[in-house]
Amino acid sequence: MSQHRSLRAAAGTTGAKRNVLKRFERVAVLKSRGQWKDGDRVTNLRKTLPPV
């Protein structure tokens, strides 16, 4: 059975840039900035902007 055309992804949306980071991505950003120490908790992380 074919998929209805309204349910298919648009042509340009598959590689869209996300504006929300996952937890492991936020930890990586904090590590690169020197704001993360090994043993820190992964809950209540500070806000970060995605790397440009």
Q: What is the pLDDT of residues 1-52, one digit of tens each?
A: 788 888 877 655 666 777 888 999 999 999 999 999 888 888 888 888 877 7
Residues spanned by the domain of 27: 19-52
Q: How many Cβ atoms from other residues are within 10 Å of residue 22's Cβ?
A: 9
- Tally the domains of the chain: 1
Domain presence at residue 35: yes
Q: Does residue 52 lie in a domain region?
A: yes
pTM of the entire structure? 0.61
Domain-located, residue 14: no
Q: What is the rounded distance in angstroms from the CA atom of residue 51 to the CA atom of residue 26?
A: 10
In angstroms, rounded to a whole number, what is the distance separating the alpha carbons of residues 19 and 34?
A: 22
Residue 27 included in any domain:
yes
- Give the three-class secondary structure for 2: coil
pLDDT (0 to 100) of residue 8:
79
How far apart CA 6 and CA 21 sit, in angstroms, is: 28
The CB density around residue 29, as the number of other CB atoms within 10 Å, is 17
